[in-house]
Amino acid sequence: MANVLLIIFTISLLYLGIAHRLFTYIKILAFQGVLLFGIAFIELIQINIANLTFVLLETIVFKAIAIPYFLNYVIKRNRITRDAEPYLPNFISLIIITLIIITTFVLSNAIADERISKIYFVVALSTLFTGLYIIVTRHKIITHVMGYLVIENGVFILSLAVGNEMPMLVNLGIMLDIFASVFLLGIFVNRIGDVLKDVDVDQLKNLKD
């Protein structure tokens, strides 16, 4: 069952590549949060109950509810236009993300370790590289934050792979999630929208030699 959820997660990455509107990105992030809740529930059954409740609560409350709500608020407040403004056409994005997934699949065959399930590695790495790709190929600053959140989801999946033996690492991953996303979004909500009228990364080119 966990494998099915992981595969659906990978498919959501492909959907991320072809989405046009920012609100679709937010819905995909919320959906990924729910999928991670399911995967955590199935996989981490061996750690103690308090830790498990904490992990599950974090995925549902933070990833699936609070952060999408925050992002919605930021977009409405700063009156950011609906389009995601990619540098490359969406069809090319789809091909590139497919290539990323295939490459990580081939790379994962080089791993000769039986204790780590290969599918976790493939999904985690593809999510990581897809997140990096989204950061690099979109005009808007808010999509940088969304790409970072996708990377965080990938890191969470990677930490689930060892979650049973070392639950502390899963907790650390959650802390990273909370700290960094709250902080990034905090700056965003407060300042960037007010100061930079046109939320484009071309605005961020003033500091250079």
| Residue 102 or 166 having the CB closest to other proteins | 166
The span from the CA of 73 to the CA of 101, in Å, is: 32
Nearest to 101 by CA among 197, 7, 204: 7
Residues that bind other proteins (CB under 8 A): 111-113, 115-116, 128, 141, 144, 148, 151-152, 155, 158-159, 161-162, 165-166, 168-169, 172-173, 175-176, 179-180, 183-184, 187, 191-192, 195-196, 203-204, 206-207, 209
- The first and second tokens of residue 103, run together, are 């490459």
Nearest to 15 by CA among 2, 5, 26, 3: 26
Q: From the CB of 89, what's the least distance to other proteins, in Å?
A: 26
| Residue 12 or 159 having the CB closest to other proteins | 159
Determine phi and psi for 163, rounding to 5 degrees: -60, -30
Q: From the CB of 102, what's the least distance to other proteins, in Å?
A: 20
The span from the CA of 94 to the CA of 19, in Å, is: 10
| Residue 4 or 116 having the CB closest to other proteins | 116
Q: From the CB of 49, what's the least distance to other proteins, in Å?
A: 20
| Residue 94 or 201 having the CB closest to other proteins | 201
Q: From the CB of 69, what's the least distance to other proteins, in Å?
A: 21
Q: From the CB of 209, what's the least distance to other proteins, in Å?
A: 5
- The first and second tokens of residue 81, run together, are 């236009």
The span from the CA of 84 to the CA of 197, in Å, is: 17
Angle, helix 22-43 to helix 67-77, in steps of 10 degrees = 170
| Residue 51 or 98 having the CB closest to other proteins | 51
Percent helix, strand, coil in the chain, to 5, is 75, 5, 20
| Residue 83 or 165 having the CB closest to other proteins | 165
Q: From the CB of 207, what's the least distance to other proteins, in Å?
A: 5
